Amino acid sequence: MILSRRSFVAAATTLRTLSASARNVAAPQPYGPLPSAPQLHWSEMEIYNFLHFTINTFTDKEWGYGDESPALFKPTAFDADAIVSTLKESGSKGVILTCKHHDGFCLWPTKTTERSVKNSPFRNGRGDVVKEVSEAAQRQGLKFGVYVSPWDRSQASYGHPEYIQIYRQQIRELLTGYGPVFEIWHDGANGGDGFYGGARERRIIDKLHYYDWDNTWKMERDLQPGAVRFSDVGPDIRWVGNEKGIAGDPCWATYTPVGADGGPASPGNVKESEATSGTRNGKFWMPAECDVSIRPGWFWHEAENARVKTSRELLTLFYDSTGRGASFLLNVPPDRRGLIDEPDSESLRGFGKLVREIFSRNLAKQAGSIVASNIRGNDMAYGPHMLLDDSLDTYWSTDDRVTTAVIVFDFPSSVTFNLVRMRENIRLGQRIGGFAVDTWIDSAWRQVAVGTSVGSCRIVRLSNTVRTARVRLRITECPVCPAVSEFGLFLES
């Protein structure tokens, strides 16, 4: 099926407004596990931040023991709006706050413990960091999420059934008092040494049964139906298996978690190496989230001020996470003022600028003609121009029996690029298992990119910048007909 430049432009204009109901041919059958509505919204976020901020910021520690006095929490110039606006400039779509880290100090005036902001000098004991951050996020159009450590080194009852009620009560307070929450983060670091109300001992819990996770997750779903629940084993979003911000290649959105010993899995008890790539045709739709800190540690330490990742390093992490179908959860720890430190702000701003500059111009849109080897039922609502309309709802697809296909983009004059981006229509599942991109150089096709998983977003960085007037996309492996929403060519200079 060939579209000339003129008919392509006309088709793109009229078809942009087409809804699914305007398709004359039935849509492809979905393949495998499918994303839920909260998972779909989450996968469009791509970049968001962690704020690790608590008493550790003032004690220069990464893990507080649980006996620190609330009096230590005294940021001198805490400004949630300033923090959120810096994050926003970096392209962030959301912010997850460490409402309670392992030391048990709560950043909101909880009813469950005296170890909270209400007994700190912050705003004379009348402050609520969770409120200020969630409201600043809402004001500036970022989503808000909560980290509430399951491990609590301060609680006397940690390791006993009573603690589970306290933990759930804390989650309940956070999910009912602060507006919509997009993500609830359950850490896999669970159990060990701690203060435990003065016992000062080591407590090891049964990771599989102690927390009764199913009931906690059910409560969370009831209280915040739009939120995704994160842990080593989901149930909505999985840990990528490392804290470097790097997803596997491939990285499948589907996953069947397996415990460290090969048995059932739970938070803190999972075969980490398998989480990095997920499971092709896995049991659950459970895409990966890549968490990493802009500094060596998760909390702010003055000694690390010279070791803040540069904008270009963040860009590489973006390619290695979002660009592999996962998400980029970048931690930016506020300092003792309660602000994002200057080196971090500078790097974030530079990163945001790079992403905006690179991805604002899809060079594939300059194609004069686009030729697909097959279009589903010859219905133009599934035509290849749907790859360029900036809509995730529309897509190019083929007849059911056609599982490999080719699209050739011809350009009126050469384009120069070094990045290829593709997006599958994940509403129909993760379908593609192999693709390649070729360019026409010196009268022959030359392969410049190759990959396996695509999913919600796949960015391939070419080893060299190429200049060409013809580009060919090949779908080389797909168990069913492909359904692709976007194809893009970009230049990182």
Binding site for ligand FUL (CB under 6 A): 62, 187-189, 291, 298
* Identity of the residue, 103 or 486, whose beta carbon is nearer to ligand FUL in the bound complex: 103
Phi, psi (degrees; rounded to nearest 5) at 408: -115, 125
Q: Measured from the CB of residue 238, what is the shortest distance to ligand FUL in angstroms?
A: 14
How far apart are the C-alpha atoms of 296 and 53, rounded to whole Å?
A: 15
* Identity of the residue, 298 or 319, whose beta carbon is nearer to ligand FUL in the bound complex: 298
Helix (H) or strand (E) segment spanning residue 246:
none
Q: Measured from the CB of residue 189, what is the shortest distance to ligand FUL in angstroms?
A: 4
* Identity of the residue, 299 or 490, whose beta carbon is nearer to ligand FUL in the bound complex: 299
* Identity of the residue, 246 or 489, whose beta carbon is nearer to ligand FUL in the bound complex: 246
* Identity of the residue, 217 or 230, whose beta carbon is nearer to ligand FUL in the bound complex: 230
Strands of 248-386, DSSP E: 254-255, 284-285, 288-293, 327-331, 369-372
Q: Measured from the CB of residue 63, what is the shortest distance to ligand FUL in angstroms?
A: 6
- Give Cα 60 distance to the centre of its chain: 28
Tokens of 20: 């699914």
Q: Measured from the CB of residue 290, what is the shortest distance to ligand FUL in angstroms?
A: 11
Please spell the DSSP secondary structure of 87-124, one letter per residue.
Answer: HHHTT--EEEEEEE-TT--BSS--SS-S-BGGGSSGGG
Candidates 51, 80, 97, 90; CA nearest to 322 is 90
Find all residues with CB under 8 Å of 135, minimum gap 6, and list them: 80, 179
Candidates 452, 446, 455, 445; CA nearest to 486 is 455
* Identity of the residue, 62 or 89, whose beta carbon is nearer to ligand FUL in the bound complex: 62
Q: Measured from the CB of residue 97, what is the shortest distance to ligand FUL in angstroms?
A: 12
Q: Measured from the CB of residue 136, what is the shortest distance to ligand FUL in angstroms?
A: 21
User: Measured between alpha carbons, how far is residue 305 from residues 13, 49, 91, 297, 300 in Å?
Assistant: 51, 19, 22, 11, 8
Q: Measured from the CB of residue 11, what is the shortest distance to ligand FUL in angstroms?
A: 47
Q: Angle 74-108-65 (CA atoms, 0-180°, nearest 5)?
A: 65
Query: Which residue number has the CB closest to ligand FUL?
Result: 189
Q: Are 122 and 73 in contact (CB under 8 A)?
A: yes
Three-class DSSP category at 131: helix
* Identity of the residue, 291 or 389, whose beta carbon is nearer to ligand FUL in the bound complex: 291
Three-class DSSP category at 97: strand
Helix (H) or strand (E) segment spanning residue 215:
helix 213-223
Candidates 79, 97, 92, 93; CA nearest to 299 is 97
> For strand 143-148 and strand 94-100, is the pairing parallel, antiparallel, or unpaired?
parallel
Q: Measured from the CB of residue 187, what is the shortest distance to ligand FUL in angstroms?
A: 5
* Identity of the residue, 62 or 410, whose beta carbon is nearer to ligand FUL in the bound complex: 62
Q: Measured from the CB of residue 62, what is the shortest distance to ligand FUL in angstroms?
A: 6
* Identity of the residue, 92 or 418, whose beta carbon is nearer to ligand FUL in the bound complex: 92
